[in-house]
Structure 1
């Protein structure tokens, strides 16, 4: 029996914090949960769990979409959402030090007061935590031009075991300097590891000066989803690099409009939204021209800031708007930008073949597509069809030279897909790393590499 101060055993509470937002990912029955408020709490919990061989499943806000935060049978769910202190904002060295429970948007607001900017912006930014963003190497709308979470993590403190010492040992990884190559990049190894090597208790992040140029929006409406994909490839060939290049299909736009009444008039199969933050009008004009040449019914530069913000709000609201319609199985494949139109065509073919309703949103500019498979509540036949379509989409992404996950992580839903992508040799290397850094298989077992 686990004995820790503040332990949660109430079944109703445990049920609420035992899973993330991944539809149909398996969820185990935890033995207990603990809402850590300090590194000491984390260390104590890890030590006790190591002594009793109780798995530890770290959790942030639970906004994940691959089952990475789902409980395993008999585990301790370690909730880090109350560790939300912004420890330091260093304006001279352009960095921030934060605890893992800091919400992404809260960090953005805090550094903005100092004229600084933290770019990674997943659609879940109003709710997701920095610790969870680091665990999955989250991306977002701005990653096309400004990079993903890994590009902003300079260092971290982690409670781990294995070669670091006894379980519960806290180690410091990385640095505060702009450059540094002393030893292997263990910080990079932990980014995207989904808590399988240890529990992150503090993160040092790179910041940028706040943008000084007001962003402009370019909108293109297309009668064909495939034409929208061709426009993405054309923009890439011409060397255009907007701050964001997002895609919404008709189903997404209609769901958002029905829910929020933002004044969007879809009327087309797909819409591309580009955000430009370079001086002058040249890039915005070039993007509009590329959209038109690729087959856009119309392409315009927005001069209305309110209208432009409404369009990007629609992009961020697409997932929760679709959730209102029933269970949503979310894909997260990424293909070369030249293959976006081919992948969009295959998604349409998959939907027709399995008779599954699929809505597609995408960080189109970097080839990261999120087909959302919609099913009526309680319809088991539709659920099985959606899961079959899910697998077909993974296979198509790999066939086109892509990956099974661009930013949501492997968790539970993508384990088989990851093994197909990496092959047995690389999968064996990953499992060897897990065994070396976590010989007790204590941290988030069954996730990413599966059973050891």
Structure 2
């Protein structure tokens, strides 16, 4: 009997919560749902032992497991007769170690809480730029979040020392580059971006750095994508290296201009934002395109204007197909050419913004509606872009909607106004 099955589960996690039936489960979900979409049960284990018991229960009953951070309602697809595990109770640990220059945190800790705690110690975790709202540390890693400060110091995995996780065999594992003599292989890079496919992240040790004494943000307003390629070549060889280099495509720049009349000049076709943790001099060739800001408060204001892009795009086009793209900087000009050609062929706008090479670009296909025919066109256009990305030395990521074991959604459409 179903009641017996779930009564045993409740007994197995006395300090956690078990949500059974549509009345209890539906408040945890969002979006348009078919009959087969809601999970049979949603579970919030209170600690590591209870999570292990949930996994054992699922194995005993031959139920698959999907994972979400539980900080906000989640979109699901086809979870009938499956367990949805919410990790929001894993949020008690935030331990800063000055000697290790690290912060140990539970996976369910909200990102905003982490940002505040780091600031109280005069520290920062480099991938937290911007600060994604409504997300947790574990789901950020499972979704493959890179942040934008990866030009000089590497991406997220370069700033993680260790990960504690539970496999679907019910065993607890430790993985990471800092674990000298560990009795299991380092599979951190496999967990990054896996969206819960191999197990559930329970805690993480983050490599942190002191807040800088100085900051310099430069907004390069460029006449064409070819100039952006030249600029990025210059930034590679001109010292010191910037921490962040963020590119905004032609359509993304148009959307930014419509959302922030005072931020961008009319002549700017594409934008590159670069930030240093020290003052530096620019070549005179690039000063003519540059808006330089060394005041931290003013720099934060510019970043906030730039990070309004997702909401501005949502207002302009509520219906859109999204993906992430890895791409070498040298391919930007060719990519913009393909955007223009494909936009004409399919009558759909294509915009991208984000980091190149170490990180990823956020790719949006803007649709006039959500009709099936338009969705198919957007899907066909995305396939063309996947081919183009491969030809240009890159690749597309996350081109499919979230489904079972794929529920760690990065809240890119709800970026916080916090910047650090």
Counterpart of 1:144 in 2: which secondary structure? coil
Return the alpha-carbon distance in structure 2 between the equivalents of residues 175 and 85 of structure 1: 24
Query: Aligned partners of 2:73, 2:270: CA distance in 1, in Å?
Result: 26
Pairing partner for 1:9 from 12, 16, 20: 20
Counterpart residue number, 2:81 = 74
Tell me how far apart the structure 1 counterparts of residues 80 and 352 of structure 2 sit (CA, whole Å). 34
With over 3 angstroms needed to count, the CA separation of the structure-2 counterparts of 1:101 and 1:73, relative to structure 1, is: same
In 2 relative to 1, CA 17–144 (structure 1 residues): closer, same or farther, beyond 3 Å?
farther
Q: Deviations over 1:224-271 (max 9, x none)?
A: 244334432443365763111112245445545655x57324523221
2:269 aligned partner:
269
- 2: CA distance, partners of 1:299 / 1:175: 39
TM-score by length of 1: 0.76
Tell me: CA distance 1:369–1:187, structure 2 relative to 1, closer, same or farther (3 Å): closer
CA 1:114–1:239: 2 relative to 1, 3 Å? closer
2:84 aligned counterpart, secondary structure: strand
Q: Which residue in 2 is equivalent to 1:41?
A: 50
User: Structure 2 CA distance, aligned partners of 1:135 and 1:382?
Assistant: 30
Residue 199 and residue 94 in structure 1: after superposition, are their counterparts in 2 closer, same or farther (change >3 A)? same
DSSP-derived class of the 1:404 partner? strand
Q: What is the deviation of 1:332?
A: 1.0
> Deviation per CA, 1:94-125, whole angstroms, max 9, x where unpaired?
12221111122321321222232211125452
TM-score (norm 2): 0.81
Secondary structure (helix, strand or coil) at the match of 2:246 reads strand
C-alpha RMSD over aligned residues: 3.5
Deviations 1:151-182 (A, max 9, x none): 22222222224xxxxx33323334756x6676
Is 1:100 the equivalent of 2:107?
yes
Change (3 A) 1:310 1:212: closer
* Other-structure match for 2:189: 188
Contact 1:230–1:341 (CA under 8 A) maintained in structure 2:
no
The structure-2 alpha-carbon separation of the partners of 1:444 and 1:269, relative to structure 1 and needing over 3 Å to count, comes to same
- Asked if the contact 1:246–1:315 (Cα under 8 Å) also holds between the matched residues in 2, the reply is no
Equivalent residues, number: 393
Partner residue in 1 for 2:345 = 353
3-state DSSP class of the match of 1:151?
A: helix
Which deviates the most, 121-130 or 56-65?
56-65
Q: Does 1:119 align with 2:126?
A: yes
What runs of 5+ residues in structure 2 fail to find an aligned partner?
11-16, 409-420
- Unaligned 5+ segments in structure 1 are 162-166, 416-442, 448-452
Partner residue in 1 for 2:411: none
Q: Provide the C-alpha distance between the structure 2 equivalents of 1:184 and 1:339, rounded to a whole number of angstroms.
A: 35
CA distance in 2, matches of 1:63, 1:330: 20
State the Cα distance separating 1:384 from its structure 2 match: 2.1
Work out whether 1:393 is the aligned partner of 2:385.
Answer: yes
Contact 1:107–1:118 under 8 Å retained in 2: no
CA gap 1:353/1:229 in 2 versus in 1, 3 angstroms: farther
* Contact 2:70–2:88 (Cα < 8 Å) also in 1: yes
Give the 3 Å change call, closer, same or farther, for CA 92–55 of structure 1 in structure 2: same
Give the secondary structure class of the aligned counterpart of 1:236. Answer: helix
Q: Which residue of 2 aligns with 1:158?
A: 165
